């Protein structure tokens, strides 16, 4: 809203001379939204919880407080050595780059292995490779990474410089009262800063004053937590009124605040001005990264600067987890190490034996020549006795066979995951239109875990539902009004506020019950009408919503956009507006409500936080009727809120007012004393009525849950909601079905928990027994098993989790098809995840959107945050973040499946590829008197896994798809491949290794036998082996590729070409022994015959096995591939269709 409009707004309000001020009602109704019966859902905002956690749990002790002297940075606590406001996201400086970067890089174990081998190779006795060849690959990798890091850091330096160089208006400390431009980096704690509209806030600052006479400032926190709603922040009246003397420096103002922390929703401090103490909370601070909106200017004092600001403290990197596949891979790596050590020992022992047998010949045999005659005295040349020789040979063997442990695999895996993440992020099916958010990969190393999930733990609100509340119905004094019909945007029933010649209407339309509308507008002062009017007045008044006036293309029409932190409150205010109680202005001191065309102004005297314990005094029949309606609403899946009121007498008010003032400025135990005050006034309430708010189910949730269930994934819903609400949501999202048997556990003692659990186990085992018997008799046709659903509430869980009853719960829960936990606390959510994680090998995934899901998200193997209505805390803690629950289906079933199968294949292939090469070298070593000569040039053996064969596996790891997206979505059961670990297991590893040995035998012995009686030299034969093995492993890969696109073709055939070129290049260097060898050997027919023979003989076993298993023992993947190719389902670019089935068929409402 621009400034001009704002003035117009004020002007228009002027005709309402002397608006009726009704302090009695206001003080009451301010607490009325909060005043609700026990049947109320807990408040939605996670912020309220975060606030409580952050602020009231610990009170501020002077010792760990930061004391800020406003306007006097010099005096501001020198012992803290506060940082300036310069931020430094860059990691390195010019001097520290090399050491720090190297240090960072060598934290990877793989690089240390590389380095150790390279160092070993530098010892003259062990020098297997030349210096260059041994150091080059490591140096190359280090250099590439360093250049990448340096580039990124340079960009960070640049953005730091831009950020630090921005200008901010800072109060001149000399006391002139003038604001002078300073650079951001020069700001210091304690300085007074002025921020203008639409400017970014340079550091965390406590508001002192704003352009608004009441001290309100609006900020947009989109950079901080992704929320686009405007947030209201307040300057304290105490500082507002004293602003001139504060800026002039004539009064000492100091702020005691907590030490810097990451909680962006909490702030705890107090302000001392003129000896008077005022408390400060999260609503008094504006944070770096926010933008000032709709406020001409704001003046604040810097309390946290630079890297201590909350936004900087929150900018942590991605979480580091290790994927299941990688854990398994480490097991096989150990196995490979064992093979490596065996090979090395074999070579060194054989060498020892050979030396022992030929001991007497070593002196004279020309190829050994033990003695060195040069330099006069006779000595041994490079010979240290058999024992030493054996030891050296062992170490040399480690150097020569080092690539048995595929170090390059770790690097290519990182590349592949990066590529996979790229495609997941770019997938338009994972893009959420409504929140304009793409899929986010926050953890880069668990992509493949997405293909192995067995348990999904889901939050309900905001995850299964949209957390966009829509008012549905109300009960007022026990009378139900739920006959609403959908409004049309231009229909006659839409309520407008007429302001001058403009029409203002609420932005969101709510359906209205005509009976209720009539009642509200009826002239007569009926008791019913009064109650209804009070009800809607309470809805319109008792909240923290800020109305914003937004223009539309039609200049006469304006929209009122209600912005606030709680979606429930928004819904209630929109509802009140639809019935003619339109909130049109809110400042910290008063609100203006248009009551059916009559503009009324209310003063806000106080505000109590929501608290669900209130008492009332009411006629029994009204309570009964209300309760019945509430029950009906919640079983429709509506969120309910009871609204009550109390009229205060002058005396009562005075008493409350003084208590409230005292409590809200208390330094210690403020939260508690405020609650005490609230409970004193929130009694003897009169029930006005209750509202039913619908939390719309997200699009496609039932279908998504059905797909997940078919995929063999168990979906557990953990919610803070009431049991009835949870169950009804369970039905509407198809989690629960009518044929399910429900096992409900609601107990409030350990003994009764134990009993219910035992009963439950008895029931479930009976059902399982029936079904298994049925299976035997009916020979497994048709599912006869009665599905079971377990419904358990938080109170019971208190007695079960972390006691010996856990075991029983686990037993029963794993038998049940569906588990629904309601009324659970955040930590219990994590406890339930841990229940499964501790006892099974199954992969768990937790998905949620709020701060209360953070613990569960961090506990699960894979944590997914929904970037939705609530804050960003869940996203910050998650491994992946996305906009909608239904994206879970393409994410797991499609991307998860692909990623799992790609990485699994890639690991096996890399093991195989390096093993083939090592075995070839090993066979050759057997013919060199076990002295580790390699016929393959050292450059080729270094480049083998880095250049000759690296790219295809990366490309295949990123791009190959065993099945199309459409097929995977059509047959969710294909997901089982990952769950059963079919693509990577010990059996496959052993088979692959056997294949590797066979292929190495073929590659080695065909040329060996063919060239045995010829004049062939080592280099030529080495070149033949090199080309044979490179081509063979690439052909092997080519045989396993599922989908050939041009990139795959290019990488595979390109790699072979590159290898040939490299070999030719290496043989063109005159100083190497193999000079020109490749040209000579390529001229002979024998060479080509050998190559051809190697390819055929090497591939026959694999090809035969593949043909046999694929035809005679086809797995589901194979059948589905055939279906894709030959099946008659109309195959065309399938993505569009697959997702639209989710959106069109079900509107996705709870009704």
Compute the least distance from the CB of residue 231 to other proteins, in Å: 13
Query: Which CB, 71 or 865, lies closer to other proteins?
Result: 865
Compute the least distance from the CB of residue 33 to other proteins, in Å: 20
- Which of 103, 927, 990, 1057 is in the footprint of other proteins by CB under 8 A? 927
Task: Find the angle CA(511)-CA(515)-CA(517) to the nearest 5 degrees.
Answer: 65
Query: Which CB, 393 or 798, lies closer to other proteins?
Result: 393
- Taking Cα atoms as reference points, which of 923, 912, 921 lies closest to residue 949? 912
Residue 788: beta bridge partners? 741
Compute the least distance from the CB of residue 1080 to other proteins, in Å: 6
Annotated binding site: 459-461, 569, 610, 639, 719-721, 823, 829, 849, 852-853
- Taking Cα atoms as reference points, which of 741, 729, 735, 700 lies closest to residue 636? 729
Question: Near other proteins by CB under 8 A, which window of 472-480, 635-643, 762-770, 1043-1051?
Answer: 1043-1051
Please, what's the b/e burial string for 545-569 (b: 16 or more CB within 10 A of its CB; e: otherwise)? bbbbbeeeeeeeebebbbbbbbbbb
Residue 423 binds other proteins, judged by CB under 8 A: yes
Residue 1085 binds other proteins, judged by CB under 8 A: yes
- CA-to-CA distance for 120 and 143, rounded, in angstroms? 21
Query: Which CB, 96 or 1014, lies closer to other proteins?
Result: 1014
Residue 483 binds other proteins, judged by CB under 8 A: no
- CA-to-CA distance for 221 and 45, rounded, in angstroms? 16
Compute the least distance from the CB of residue 343 to other proteins, in Å: 17
- How many residues of this chain interact with other proteins, rule: CB under 8 A? 136
Compute the least distance from the CB of residue 932 to other proteins, in Å: 6
CB neighbourhood size of 264 (10 A): 27
* Side-chain-side CA neighbours of residue 827 (13 Å): 5
Please, what's the b/e burial string for 985-996 (b: 16 or more CB within 10 A of its CB; e: otherwise)? eeebbeebbebb
Residue 121, classified by CB atoms within 10 Å of its CB into exposed (0-12), middle (13-18) or buried (19+), is buried
SS3 of 856-875: HHHHCCEEEEECCCCCCHHH
Query: Which CB, 1064 or 1072, lies closer to other proteins?
Result: 1072
Instruction: Kindly identify the residues of this chain, within the stretch 570-629, that bind other proteins according to CB under 8 A.
Output: 570
- Taking Cα atoms as reference points, which of 313, 302, 309, 307 lies closest to residue 76? 302
- CA-to-CA distance for 223 and 344, rounded, in angstroms? 57
Compute the least distance from the CB of residue 1095 to other proteins, in Å: 10
3-state secondary structure (DSSP) of residue 698? coil
Residue 900 binds other proteins, judged by CB under 8 A: no
Structure tokens at 308: 């201590």
Compute the least distance from the CB of residue 440 to other proteins, in Å: 10
Task: Find the angle CA(525)-CA(528)-CA(530) to the nearest 5 degrees.
Answer: 55
Strand order in the sheet with 479-481: 479-481, 465-476, 686-697, 638-645
Structure tokens at 404: 């048995």
Query: Which CB, 381 or 619, lies closer to other proteins?
Result: 381
Residue 228 binds other proteins, judged by CB under 8 A: yes
Query: Which CB, 651 or 1128, lies closer to other proteins?
Result: 1128
**What is the pattern of x (binds other proteins, CB under 8 A) and - over residues 534-553?**
--------------x-x---
- Which of 275, 317, 553, 782 is in the footprint of other proteins by CB under 8 A? 782
* Side-chain-side CA neighbours of residue 116 (13 Å): 11
Instruction: Kindly identify the residues of this chain, within the stretch 351-390, that bind other proteins according to CB under 8 A.
Output: 358, 361, 363-369, 371-376, 378, 381-382
**What is the pattern of x (binds other proteins, CB under 8 A) and - over residues 1002-1041?**
----x-xxxxxxxxxxxxxxx-------------------
Compute the least distance from the CB of residue 888 to other proteins, in Å: 18
Query: Which CB, 595 or 1119, lies closer to other proteins?
Result: 1119
* Catalytic position from the list 204, 449, 459, 695: 459
- CA-to-CA distance for 656 and 607, rounded, in angstroms? 12
Annotated binding site for Mg(2+): 459, 461, 849, 853
- CA-to-CA distance for 903 and 909, rounded, in angstroms? 10
Query: Which CB, 199 or 1110, lies closer to other proteins?
Result: 1110
Compute the least distance from the CB of residue 664 to other proteins, in Å: 32
Residue 122 binds other proteins, judged by CB under 8 A: no
Residue 508 binds other proteins, judged by CB under 8 A: yes
**What is the pattern of x (binds other proteins, CB under 8 A) and - over residues 434-473?**
xxxxx---------------------------x-x-x---
Query: Which CB, 651 or 1133, lies closer to other proteins?
Result: 1133
Compute the least distance from the CB of residue 467 to other proteins, in Å: 11
Contact 858, 829 (CB under 8 A): no
3-state secondary structure (DSSP) of residue 693? strand
Question: Near other proteins by CB under 8 A, which window of 506-514, 613-621, 803-811, 870-878?
Answer: 506-514
Query: Which CB, 433 or 523, lies closer to other proteins?
Result: 433
Residue 666 binds other proteins, judged by CB under 8 A: no
Compute the least distance from the CB of residue 991 to other proteins, in Å: 17
Annotated binding site for ATP: 459-461, 569, 610, 639, 719-721, 823, 829, 852-853
- CA-to-CA distance for 813 and 500, rounded, in angstroms? 63
77 is catalytic: no
Instruction: Kindly identify the residues of this chain, within the stretch 1061-1080, that bind other proteins according to CB under 8 A.
Output: 1070-1073, 1075-1076, 1079-1080
Query: Which CB, 502 or 746, lies closer to other proteins?
Result: 502
Return all residues near 343 (Cβ < 8 A) that are at least 6 apart: 397, 401, 404, 918, 922
- Which of 706, 931, 938, 998 is in the footprint of other proteins by CB under 8 A? 931
3-state secondary structure (DSSP) of residue 945? helix
Instruction: Kindly identify the residues of this chain, within the stretch 1099-1138, that bind other proteins according to CB under 8 A.
Output: 1100, 1103-1104, 1106-1107, 1110-1112, 1114-1116, 1119-1127, 1133, 1135
Instruction: Kindly identify the residues of this chain, within the stretch 673-712, that bind other proteins according to CB under 8 A.
Output: 696, 699, 712
Residue 433 binds other proteins, judged by CB under 8 A: yes
Structure tokens at 638: 């509506």
Residue 4 binds other proteins, judged by CB under 8 A: no
- CA-to-CA distance for 1025 and 1008, rounded, in angstroms? 10
- For the chain, how big is the Rg over CA atoms in Å? 37
Instruction: Kindly identify the residues of this chain, within the stretch 938-997, that bind other proteins according to CB under 8 A.
Output: 959, 961, 965, 971, 973, 976, 979-980
CA distances (Å), 43 to each of 568, 821, 1136, in order? 8, 18, 38
Locate all alpha helices (DSSP H) within 165-315, ordered by sequence: 222-225, 237-241, 243-248, 310-314
**What is the pattern of x (binds other proteins, CB under 8 A) and - over residues 282-321?**
----------------------------------------
Residue 656: beta bridge partners? none
Contact 62, 272 (CB under 8 A): no
- Taking Cα atoms as reference points, which of 590, 698, 546 lies closest to residue 27? 590
- CA-to-CA distance for 686 and 574, rounded, in angstroms? 24
Query: Which CB, 328 or 961, lies closer to other proteins?
Result: 961
Residue 1043 binds other proteins, judged by CB under 8 A: yes
Q: Would you list the DSSP string of 755-819?
A: HHHHHHHHHHHHHHHHHHHHHHHTTT-S--PPPEEEEEEHHHHHHHTTSTHHHHHHHHHHHSSEE
DSSP 8-state assignment for residue 1115? -
- Which of 42, 84, 226, 1093 is in the footprint of other proteins by CB under 8 A? 1093
Instruction: Kindly identify the residues of this chain, within the stretch 733-752, that bind other proteins according to CB under 8 A.
Output: none
Residue 220 binds other proteins, judged by CB under 8 A: yes
- Which of 13, 110, 243, 1097 is in the footprint of other proteins by CB under 8 A? 1097
Catalytic residues: 459
């Amino acid at each position: 809203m621009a400034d001009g409009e704002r003035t117009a707004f004020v002007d228009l309000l002027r005709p309402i001379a002397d608006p009726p001020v009704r302090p009695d009602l206001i003080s009451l109704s301010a607490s009325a939204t909060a005043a609700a019966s026990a049947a109320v859902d807990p408040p939605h905002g996670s912020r309220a919880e975060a606030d409580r956690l952050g602020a009231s749990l610990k009170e501020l002790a002077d010792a760990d407080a930061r004391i800020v002297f406003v306007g006097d940075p010099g005096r501001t606590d020198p012992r803290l050595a506060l940082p300036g406001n310069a931020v430094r996201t860059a990691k390195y400086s010019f001097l520290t780059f090399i050491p720090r970067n190297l240090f960072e890089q060598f934290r990877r174990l793989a690089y240390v292995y590389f380095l150790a081998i390279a160092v070993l190779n530098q010892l003259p006795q062990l020098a297997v490779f030349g210096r260059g060849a041994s150091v080059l690959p490591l140096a190359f990798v280090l250099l590439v990474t360093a250049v990448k890091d340096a580039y990124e850091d340079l960009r960070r330096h640049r953005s730091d410089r831009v950020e630090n160089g921005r200008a901010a208006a800072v109060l001149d400390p000399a006391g002139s009262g003038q604001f002078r431009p300073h650079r951001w980096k020069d700001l210091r704690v304690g300085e007074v800063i002025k921020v203008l509209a639409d400017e970014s806030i340079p550091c965390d600052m406590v508001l002192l004053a704003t352009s608004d006479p009441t001290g309100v400032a609006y900020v947009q926190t989109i950079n901080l937590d992704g929320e686009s709603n405007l947030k209201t922040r307040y300057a304290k009246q105490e500082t507002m009124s004293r602003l001139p003397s504060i800026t002039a420096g004539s009064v000492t103002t100091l702020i005691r605040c907590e030490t810097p922390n990451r909680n962006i929703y909490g702030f705890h401090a107090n302000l001392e001005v003129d000896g008077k103490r005022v408390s400060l909370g999260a609503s008094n601070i504006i944070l770096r990264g926010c933008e000032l909106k709709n406020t001409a200017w704001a003046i604040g004092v810097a309390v946290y600067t630079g890297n201590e600001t909350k936004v900087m403290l929150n900018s942590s990197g991605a979480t580091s987890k290790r994927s299941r596949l990688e854990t398994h891979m480490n097991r096989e790596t150990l196995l490979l190490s064992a093979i490596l050590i065996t090979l090395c020992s074999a070579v060194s022992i054989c060498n020892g034996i050979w030396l022992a047998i030929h001991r007497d010949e070593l002196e004279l045999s020309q190829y050994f020549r033990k003695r060195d005659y040069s330099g006069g005295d006779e000595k041994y040349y490079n010979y240290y006795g058999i024992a030493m020789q054996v030891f050296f040979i062992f170490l040399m063997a480690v150097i020569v066979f080092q690539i048995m442990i595929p170090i390059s695999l770790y690097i290519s895996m990182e590349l592949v995951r990066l590529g996979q993440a790229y495609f997941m992020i770019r997938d338009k099916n994972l893009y959420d239109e409504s929140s304009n958010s793409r899929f986010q990969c926050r953890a880069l190393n668990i992509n493949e875990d997405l293909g192995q999930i067995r348990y999904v733990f889901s939050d309900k609100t905001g995850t299964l539902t949209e957390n966009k509340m829509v008012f549905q119905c109300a009960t007022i004094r026990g009378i139900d009004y739920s006959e609403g019909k959908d409004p049309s945007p231009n229909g006659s029933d839409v309520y407008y506020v007429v302001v001058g010649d403009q029409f203002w209407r609420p932005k969101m339309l709510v359906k209205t019950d005509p009976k209720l509308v009539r009642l509200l507008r009826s002239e007569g002062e009926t008791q019913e009408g009064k109650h209804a009017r009070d009800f809607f007045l309470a809805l319109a008044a008792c909240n923290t919503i800020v109305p914003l006036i937004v223009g539309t293309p039609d200049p006469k029409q304006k929209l009122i956009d209600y912005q606030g932190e709680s979606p429930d409150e928004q819904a209630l205010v929109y509802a009140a507006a639809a019935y003619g109680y339109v909130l049109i202005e809110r400042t910290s001191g008063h609100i203006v409500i248009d009551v059916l065309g009559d503009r009324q102004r209310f003063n806000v005297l106080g505000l109590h936080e929501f608290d669900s314990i209130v008492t009332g005094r009411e006629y029994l029949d009204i309570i009964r009727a209300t309760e019945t309606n509430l029950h009906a609403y919640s079983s429709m899946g509506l969120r309910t809120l009871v609204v009550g009121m109390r009229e205060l007498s002058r005396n009562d008010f005075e008493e409350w007012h003084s208590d409230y003032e005292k409590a809200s400025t208390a330094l210690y135990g403020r939260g508690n004393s405020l609650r005490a005050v609230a409970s004193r006034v929130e009694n003897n309430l009169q029930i006005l009525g209750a509202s039913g708010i619908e939390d719309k189910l997200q699009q496609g949730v039932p279908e998504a849950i059905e797909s997940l269930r078919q995929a063999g994934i168990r979906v557990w819903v953990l919610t803070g909601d009431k049991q009835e609400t949870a169950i009804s949501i369970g039905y509407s999202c198809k989690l629960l079905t009518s044929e399910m048997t429900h096992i409900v556990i609601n107990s409030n003692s350990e003994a009764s928990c134990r009993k219910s659990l035992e009963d439950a186990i008895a029931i479930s085992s009976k059902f399982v027994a029936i079904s298994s018997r049925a299976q035997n008799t009916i020979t497994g046709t048709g599912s006869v098993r009665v599905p079971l659903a377990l419904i358990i509430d938080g109170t019971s869980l208190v007695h079960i989790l972390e006691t010996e009853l856990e075991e029983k719960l686990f037993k029963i829960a794993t038998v049940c098809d569906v588990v629904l936990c309601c009324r659970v606390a955040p930590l219990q959510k994590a406890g339930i995840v841990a229940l499964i994680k501790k006892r099974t090998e199954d992969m768990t995934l937790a998905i949620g959107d709020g701060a209360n899901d953070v613990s569960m998200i961090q506990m699960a193997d894979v944590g997914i945050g929904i970037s939705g209505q609530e804050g960003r805390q869940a996203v910050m803690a998650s491994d992946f973040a996305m906009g909608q629950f239904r994206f879970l289906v393409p994410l797991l079933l499609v991307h998860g499946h692909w990623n799992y199968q790609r990485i699994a294949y890639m690991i096996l292939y890399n093991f195989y590829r390096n093993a083939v090469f090592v075995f070839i070298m090993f066979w050759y070593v057997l013919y060199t008197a076990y002295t580790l000569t390699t016929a393959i040039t050292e450059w080729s053996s270094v480049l083998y896994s880095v250049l000759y064969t690296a790219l295809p596996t990366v490309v295949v790891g990123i791009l190959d798809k065993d099945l199309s997206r459409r097929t995977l979505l059509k047959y969710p059961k294909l997901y089982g491949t990952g769950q059963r670990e079919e693509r990577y297991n010990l059996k496959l590893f052993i088979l692959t290794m056997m294949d590797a040995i066979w292929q190495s035998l073929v590659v080695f012995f065909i040329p060996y036998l063919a060239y045995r009686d010829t004049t062939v030299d080592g280099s030529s034969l080495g070149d033949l082996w090199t080309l044979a093995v490179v081509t063979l492993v690439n052909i092997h890969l080519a045989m396993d590729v599922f989908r050939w696109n041009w990139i795959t073709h290019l990488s595979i055939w390109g790699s072979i070409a590159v290898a040939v070129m490299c070999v030719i290049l290496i043989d063109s260097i005159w100083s190497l022994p193999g000079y020109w060898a490749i040209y000579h050997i390529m001229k002979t027919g024998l060479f080509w015959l050998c190559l051809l023979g190697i390819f055929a003989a090497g591939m026959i076993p694999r090809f035969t096995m593949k043909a046999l298993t694929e035809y005679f023992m086809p797995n589901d993947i194979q059948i589905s591939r055939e279906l894709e190719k030959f099946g008659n389902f109309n195959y065309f670019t399938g993505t569009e269709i697959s997702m639209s089935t989710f959106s069109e068929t079900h509107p996705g409402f709870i009704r």
